[in-house]
Amino acid sequence: MKNEYFVIGLMSGTSLDGLDIAACKFNYNKQWNYQIIKALTIKYPDELKHELSDAFYSGDQQLTQLDDKYGNYIGTQLQEFILGLPEIPELICSHGHTVFHRPADGITIQIGSGKRIHELVNIPVVNNFRQQDVLLGGQGAPLVPLGDEILFSNYDCCINLGGFSNISWKSANKRLACDMSPCNILLNSIASKLNLAFDKNGEISRSGTLIEELYIKWNQIEFFNKKAPKSLGREWFENHYLNDLSESRFEPNDLLFTATEHVAEQISKFILTIGTENANYLFTGGGAHNIYLMERLSHYFGQKLNPSEDYQLIDFKEAIVFAFLGLLRILGKINVLSSVTGAVKDHSAGDIWT
């Protein structure tokens, strides 16, 4: 095993903000460390964004075509990105875009053809990280906690405020993790009613008032009383929230206020159940930029909470970690923890294209 590896990680979240690309150096000297060499988010063209959003409703043939098209898009973007690097990376690790995630039915599908990406950049590719875990009886998510354990062990809890909020923490020398609530997938869906991609800093949310009937209804959703391991997907979100969001009698600012309160309460409620309320937290993901959401979390936590001061870490942590998970896969090392996903065993997951 070498001491240093140059790897690109790619992430596309449920909120469809764009394609996150992080080129990282990973160094091993008794423990792993990383350095971001270059990172950027490429906004999706409107047509592709709509296709990815609507993939949930696609048939098999359409999905196969979109898998290839999205893989082609990723590969093309990588060609240009790599030109700006000081050297050619030795590995590409792509999470892909999640279309379906129903682990109870043995289904999780991420598109973005690894074969097509490899053909375009002529660099080994690792993708399809989740499917093997689901086949082994796991949730297939979250996968980032192994990276938290190895790369961010100086934090007691790592909380990602992405499309869904998730957390990983250490308990009795075991890394545990799960999804906690919807986050940006809910807030951004409401913001889209105002033709906005998101509610910047939560300013519109701040101007609203509570819709009590929705607040009570959402807080009673069964998922919030389940214990880890547990994970969320778009199907769950649409089943529990979409009809309420489409009712014209609710003003968008009131929906945003209510949704923010709901998200903050459910996250803090979960934190209390696992006994980490006075921990050293790392907050990352798009929601960490939402000033009002962070204020409401601070209120429920009973302490001032701040996102990481490293903006690259806030925006690219998941891309960094998937780069690392892909590297572990190539090295033949464990990259999925059964203590996190509920699978029958720890394992090394991901399809390799060379």
pLDDT tens-digit readout, 95-127: 999 999 999 999 999 999 999 999 999 999 999
Residue 341's pLDDT band, with cuts at 50, 70 and 90, is very high
Which residue reads 């968008």 in tokens? 252
The torsion angles phi and psi of 130, rounded to 5 degrees, stand at: -95, -30
pLDDT tens-digit readout, 16-52: 889 999 999 999 999 999 999 999 999 999 999 999 9
Is the pLDDT score of 209 beyond 80? yes
Residue 339's pLDDT band, with cuts at 50, 70 and 90, is very high
Q: Are 116 and 71 in contact (CB under 8 A)?
A: yes
CA distances from 123 to 89, 115, 116, 170, 282 (A): 8, 11, 11, 35, 33
pTM given for the model: 0.94
Q: How far apart are CA 52 and CA 54, in angstroms?
A: 5
Which residue reads 């790897």 in tokens? 7
Residue 9's pLDDT band, with cuts at 50, 70 and 90, is very high
Which residues are paired to 91 by β-bridges?
7
Instruction: Provide the pLDDT for residue 285.
Output: 95
Please report the domains of the chain, with CATH numbers, ordered by start residue.
Answer: 4-139+326-353 (3.30.420.40), 145-311 (3.30.420.40)
Taking residues 342-347, report their average pLDDT.
97
